[in-house]
Structure 1
Amino acid sequence: MLSKRSLVGIRLNFQTLAVLFFMLIGVSAYAVDPAVANSDEAISAGKTVFNANCKQCHKLDQKSVGPALRGISDRRPIEWAKSFIKNSQAVIASGDAYATALYKEYNNTVMPSHEFLTDDDLGNLLAYIEYGDKVDPNAAVAGAEGAATGTGAGGGIPTEYLTVILGVLVLVLLLILVVLGLIISVLTKYLNKQPLAEDDQEFISQKTDIGKIFKSDAFIIVVTALVVALVAKTALDGLYSVGVQQGYAPAQPIAFSHALHAGQYEIACQYCHTGVEIGKSANIPSPNICMNCHMHIQNVGGKEGISPEIQKIYDAVDNNQPIEWVRVHNLPDLAYFNHSQHVAVGGIECQTCHGPIQEMEVVAQHSSLTMGWCIDCHRQTEIAAEGNAYYDKLVQLHSDSKDALKVKDIGGLECAKCHY
């Protein structure tokens, strides 16, 4: 257990974390080492290592808290890079001139050791840094054009368009009523000038009695039916909203910003919510996970000393007390939901259910999380079966069908799947 005194003594400027991999992209030129494997398997495994250990401070092609990492194998020897990743302090202590110079330049800040990484892990990590997630500028332009013309992925008619269409229909109906009124008026004037029988003339000349309309049985029945329908709809809407907390955004004991951590610094959700890929619950991070970064990052906005919000993390660690976060997303006890099934097996992104979490200063429940909402998703979502051994047999059984394999086809609408 780290004491408050020892933690407070580490007064490092937030920006000094940029040194974590800066030594890996020096000015010395080296050929790409053949040890950096360019295979999909190595790149995929390296991405997992990167997301778990590096992503909170680094991006591949642009500077974040730390420098852009692409091109490490062109600038430093592979063995030097592996040694530095595993134990940067040892490289500095060895007297390496380049490492020592950068160590002094960045206020004697070094990155944490990663002795637990195997040589295969390091090779995969470097493979991902060198070859992974390269952006195709042509694809980016095409995507932007698709978004501008409304032809991008997702399709469908936006709600705003439906509102406009409904408004146009109402306007058309009003115009039809006006035109019919004008036609009746013109015909009445024309017929009044013609010789007509007494009964016909009386019919044409009759005036509308508004009072009789309001007192008529038909009018009373129609109004009563409308009132009953409105009351019934209001009551049903109220019943359907019981237990629905869409938009719920409670105040938390610590002002944690997902927009800063998940958005600006692109820290993977799995780094803090460690159970999301291995268990039913995503779990709330303990103060120890916070301290992985905040034993180095103590101040915010350039202020001296520890910020009040970060001080709360230190207090929780010193007092061995959990932070009492307020739960935002709640499902009834009668419903079963497994995060690992959806995230690890189904490949569902966190934003699918939780919305643009990377843009939220205060987390709010984005989706309704009702049974109807889940069922609609199961009816529409296609199974990500390609390269996923979990679904091999299901794909074989479904091979005769021309339709895409969806969640509803593998029992996604069965009551016992969620209610047990």
Structure 2
Amino acid sequence: MLSKRSLVGIQWRFQTLAVLFFMLVGMSVYAADPAVSTSEEAISAGKTVFNANCKQCHKLDQKSVGPALRGATDRQPLDAVKAFIKNSSAVIGSGNAYYTALYKEYNNTVMPAHEFLSDGDLDNLLAYIEHGDKVDPNAAAATATAGGGAAGAGGGIPSEYLSIILGVLVLVLLLILVVLGLIINVLTKYINKQDLSEEDKDFVSQKSDFGKVLKSDAFVIIITALVVALVAKTAIDGLYSVGVQQGYAPAQPIAFSHALHAGQLEIACQYCHTGVEIGKSANIPSANICMNCHTHVQNVQGKEGISPEIQKIYNAVDNNQPIEWVRVHNLPDLAYFNHSQHVAVGGIECQTCHGQIQEMEVVAQHSALTMGWCIDCHRQTEIATEGNAYYDKLVQLHSDSKDALKVKDIGGLECAKCHY
């Protein structure tokens, strides 16, 4: 028989072991709690997800259409953040106080659901949100200062300085001519004082007869040749410019700013021009694409009421009428061009052909878009063969050449490529 004291000792030991057991279980559960990844691979994959789904409305460290995203997992549990990304309406409807307040702060703007994102996509997205593209303010300031100095030292001579330099050079040339004239005058007077023969005096004292020069056959022939060459060049330049709309910047029915949308807000070109990666045409955006954002964004931040330009979008939707955008870039019907072939397959950036579109308030045609311009590009552009098995055989056949595989080497200069 066990004594009472022994039973108490056994009970105490059992309780101690139970406490230790539950502490270990709790620590293991806490340790197994999923954390945001810091791997470069996850951050890189997350940036792709962010650019495709979030960049239009969010930035990492400052407010845009929506709130800044950095620190989202500090403000709410990880599972809650994932659930909100997948279906914000459901989380708000469940009574989550934080997200309900956020919903009201942004004028009851509903974030689109992202049910199609897998758990892996969400993990990568949060890895990028929390750890991607971090900027040290002190380093950024130092870089900006250094960059400003570099620009001042090696950024070239400003145009106003060039004008001043040219003006000074012209003035110097005029002064040289004046000095030469004075020297000739002094020398002439000095020579005339010498004991010269009549023939030498006549030679020294002779004056130029510009009338005879202007009437001479040589002068007439030279001037005639110059005029004919100038007229011919002007005519040829005019013929070559037929159909070339470089610099064309028409006024649009709505004053849409690419500098604001593509530049400041960093909205990807593919968001509005939906066909650029999948079809021949990039597509001019319809009013419903505008309304994806402007259902909630009705004016410039800090102003009240609907702005006049955004009101035009509402009018088009209410009246079921398309916005009659004026086309800027237009190739002739005899030429075939496929956006997806260049953007999706060739990896060509929009700016290559359209210029710094993210800086344009009014879109203008940047490139000539002539046949010569296209052919020159095909002669210089290298094929992006890495990771594309389609080109393996061509790369193998081209291996004997010292030059890289370019578009011209795969038929890029054949007439039927663009004309058929």
- Name the TM-score class by shorter chain: 0.7 to 0.9
- What CA deviation, in whole Å up to 9, does each residue of 1:253-279 have, x standing for no partner? 223222222222211111000111122
Q: List alignment gaps of at least 5 residues for structure 2.
A: 1-30
- What CA deviation, in whole Å up to 9, does each residue of 1:92-112 have, x standing for no partner? 222223223433444444322
Q: Note closer, same or farther for the CA distance 1:104–1:272 as it changes in structure 2 (3 Å cut).
A: closer
The aligned counterpart of 1:86 is 86
Q: Note closer, same or farther for the CA distance 1:224–1:298 as it changes in structure 2 (3 Å cut).
A: same
Measure, in 2, the Cα distance between the counterparts of 1:176 and 1:284: 61
3-state SS of the aligned residue for 2:271?
A: helix
Aligned mate of 2:154, from 133, 136, 150: 150
Letter in 1 for 2:153: T
Measure, in 2, the Cα distance between the counterparts of 1:61 and 1:31: 29
The worse-fitting range, judged by mean Cα deviation, of 163-172 and 364-373 is 163-172
Alignment of 1:262-277 (within 5 A): 262-277=262-277
The aligned counterpart of 2:373 is 373
Q: Note closer, same or farther for the CA distance 1:180–1:302 as it changes in structure 2 (3 Å cut).
A: closer
Letter in 1 for 2:358: Q
Q: Note closer, same or farther for the CA distance 1:75–1:160 as it changes in structure 2 (3 Å cut).
A: same
The aligned counterpart of 1:23 is none
The aligned counterpart of 1:192 is 192
Measure, in 1, the Cα distance between the counterparts of 2:368 and 2:246: 5
Q: Note closer, same or farther for the CA distance 1:60–1:381 as it changes in structure 2 (3 Å cut).
A: farther
The aligned counterpart of 1:324 is 324
Letter in 2 for 1:227: V
- What CA deviation, in whole Å up to 9, does each residue of 1:50-91 have, x standing for no partner? 223211211123332323323434554332221110111211
**Does the CA contact (< 8 Å) of 1:299 and 1:306 recur in 2?**
yes
The worse-fitting range, judged by mean Cα deviation, of 172-181 and 66-75 is 172-181
Normalising by structure 1, we get a TM-score of 0.75
Q: CA RMSD in A?
A: 3.9
**Larger relative CO (CA 8 A, sep 6+): 1 or 2?**
1
Q: Over alpha carbons, which structure has the higher Rg?
A: 2
3-state SS of the aligned residue for 2:202?
A: helix
The aligned counterpart of 1:203 is 203
Compare the two structures and name the one with the higher helix fraction: 2
The aligned counterpart of 1:3 is none
Deviation at 1:283, TM superposition (A): 0.6
3-state SS of the aligned residue for 1:61?
A: coil
The aligned counterpart of 2:128 is 128
Q: Note closer, same or farther for the CA distance 1:387–1:76 as it changes in structure 2 (3 Å cut).
A: farther
3-state SS of the aligned residue for 2:122?
A: helix
Alignment of 1:170-249 (within 5 A): 184-185=184-185, 188-249=188-249
Deviation at 1:397, TM superposition (A): 5.3
The worse-fitting range, judged by mean Cα deviation, of 157-166 and 101-110 is 157-166
Deviation at 1:385, TM superposition (A): 5.1
Q: List alignment gaps of at least 5 residues for structure 1.
A: 1-29
Deviation at 1:282, TM superposition (A): 0.7
**Does the CA contact (< 8 Å) of 1:57 and 1:66 recur in 2?**
yes
Q: Note closer, same or farther for the CA distance 1:320–1:32 as it changes in structure 2 (3 Å cut).
A: farther
Q: Note closer, same or farther for the CA distance 1:326–1:32 as it changes in structure 2 (3 Å cut).
A: farther
**Does the CA contact (< 8 Å) of 1:37 and 1:124 recur in 2?**
no
The aligned counterpart of 1:25 is none
**Does the CA contact (< 8 Å) of 2:60 and 2:69 recur in 1?**
yes
Measure, in 1, the Cα distance between the counterparts of 2:176 and 2:419: 52
3-state SS of the aligned residue for 1:361?
A: coil
**Does the CA contact (< 8 Å) of 2:36 and 2:123 recur in 1?**
yes
Letter in 2 for 1:362: V
**Does the CA contact (< 8 Å) of 1:88 and 1:113 recur in 2?**
yes
Are residue 341 (structure 1) and residue 347 (structure 2) matched?
no
Measure, in 2, the Cα distance between the counterparts of 1:158 and 1:389: 48
The aligned counterpart of 2:10 is none
**Does the CA contact (< 8 Å) of 1:355 and 1:367 recur in 2?**
yes
Q: Note closer, same or farther for the CA distance 1:403–1:209 as it changes in structure 2 (3 Å cut).
A: same
Q: Note closer, same or farther for the CA distance 1:392–1:241 as it changes in structure 2 (3 Å cut).
A: same
- Report percent identity of matched pairs: 83
Alignment of 1:19-418 (within 5 A): 33-34=34-35, 36=37, 38-40=39-41, 42-135=42-135, 137=139, 140-141=143-144, 146-150=150-154, 184-185=184-185, 188-300=188-300, 305-383=305-383, 406-408=406-408, 410-418=410-418
**Does the CA contact (< 8 Å) of 2:66 and 2:106 recur in 1?**
no
Q: Note closer, same or farther for the CA distance 1:164–1:305 as it changes in structure 2 (3 Å cut).
A: closer
Deviation at 1:217, TM superposition (A): 0.9
**Does the CA contact (< 8 Å) of 2:65 and 2:297 recur in 1?**
no
Q: Note closer, same or farther for the CA distance 1:60–1:218 as it changes in structure 2 (3 Å cut).
A: same
Q: Note closer, same or farther for the CA distance 1:419–1:105 as it changes in structure 2 (3 Å cut).
A: closer
